[in-house]
């Protein structure tokens, strides 16, 4: 049997990689992919705690995270298409019209 | 045996996640992320969440990531323009802070592990999940359909050229 802490540490490492990617990448699709990495790390935490506490609720929450990820991907990619159509670039530093 | 499996697939997951960041072209990042999702699904099986592992592969790797790959190919991206990266030196502050965050999390979890709770047997079978989903969580389940509907309309509104 694998200690629950190993899963949590693995999940923390994956989450950290996602955060790192979110801050160092400049391509907006890469940012969305980093968010997906973070969501998956959180899913792993949910499932690990679900096993430790013997409750199924943790696995139900993974479903809702999945749904939110699907909605986020749909809306986010639609925004990416609209942004690319307007500026011919996916660099997030180029779209700074709203910046003061 | 189980530990060998855990370390093998954990290494694949971390390596693939790092590869997502290293790759220059987004398409390779997306393909690498599919590998990471598959490795995480195997870890779900090790955690006795069989149904979630299947759902993870079908919905995440099969639907969401294919959507990503479609959009990447549709846009026909130009070469990765790095340009003048005004945040270049910021990573010398960010990486130590991130590592500090990791140390903080790991030490917290380490102390948590010193107090292991009871570990009853539990199988995440479709029947158990369906039972819980349609009794305790039926309201969030219904609200979720509304969320999907709104996301659907939002995607159409944003992506359409002129409405």
**Extents of the domains making up chain A:** 4-87
B109 vs B113, more confident: B109
Interchain pair A30, B3: CB under 8 A: no
Instruction: Please tell me the least confidently modeled range out of A30-39, A80-89, B32-41.
Output: A80-89
Q: How many CB atoms lie within 10 A of CB A29?
A: 22
| Angstrom distances, CA of residue A9 to CA of A35, A60, B81, B104, B138 | 19, 22, 35, 11, 32
Dihedral sign, CA of B55, A66, A17, A44?
Answer: negative
Interchain pair A91, B83: CB under 8 A: yes
How far apart are the C-alpha atoms of A12 and A17, rounded to whole Å? Answer: 9
| Angstrom distances, CA of residue B14 to CA of A80, A84, B9, B19, B162 | 27, 31, 9, 8, 42
Interchain pair A81, B158: CB under 8 A: yes
Dihedral sign, CA of B151, B155, B156, B162?
Answer: positive
Q: What is the predicted ipTM?
A: 0.89
Residue pair B60/A65 in contact by the 8 Å Cβ criterion: no
Chain A residue numbers with beta carbons less than 8 Å from the beta carbon of B71 are: 29, 77, 80-81
Instruction: Please tell me the least confidently modeled range out of B23-27, B28-32, B158-162.
Output: B158-162
Query: Does the domain spanning A4-87 belong to CATH 3.40.50.2000?
Result: no
Q: Single out the residue of B140, B63, B54, B37 nearest to residue A61, CA to CA.
A: B140
What's the whole-model pTM score? 0.81
pLDDT value for B129: 87
């Amino acid at each position: 049997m694998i200690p629950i802490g190993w899963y949590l540490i693995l999940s923390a490492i994956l989450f950290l990689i996602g955060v790192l990617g979110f801050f160092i990448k400049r391509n907006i699709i890469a940012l969305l992919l980093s968010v997906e990495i973070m969501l998956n790390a959180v899913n792993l935490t949910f499932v690990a705690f679900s096993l430790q506490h013997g409750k199924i609720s943790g696995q139900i929450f993974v479903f809702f995270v999945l749904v939110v990820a699907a909605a986020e991907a749909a809306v986010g990619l639609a925004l990416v298409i609209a942004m690319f159509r307007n500026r011919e670039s996916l660099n997030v530093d180029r779209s700074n019209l709203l910046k003061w | 045996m189980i530990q060998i499996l855990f370390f093998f697939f954990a290494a694949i997951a971390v390596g693939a996640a790092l590869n997502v960041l290293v790759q220059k072209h987004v398409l390779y990042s997306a393909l690498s992320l599919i590998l990471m999702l598959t490795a995480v699904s195997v870890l779900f099986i090790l955690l006795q969440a069989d149904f979630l592992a299947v759902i993870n592969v079908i919905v995440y790797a099969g639907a969401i990531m294919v959507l990503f790959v479609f959009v990447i190919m549709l846009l026909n991206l130009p070469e990765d323009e790095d340009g003048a990266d005004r945040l270049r030196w910021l990573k010398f502050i960010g990486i130590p802070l991130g590592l500090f965050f990791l140390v903080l999390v790991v030490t917290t979890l380490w102390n948590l592990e010193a107090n292991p709770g009871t570990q009853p047997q539990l199988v995440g079978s479709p029947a158990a999940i369906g039972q819980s989903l349609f009794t305790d969580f039926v309201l969030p389940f219904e609200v979720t359909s509304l969320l999907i509907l709104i996301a659907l309309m939002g995607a159409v509104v944003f992506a359409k050229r002129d409405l």
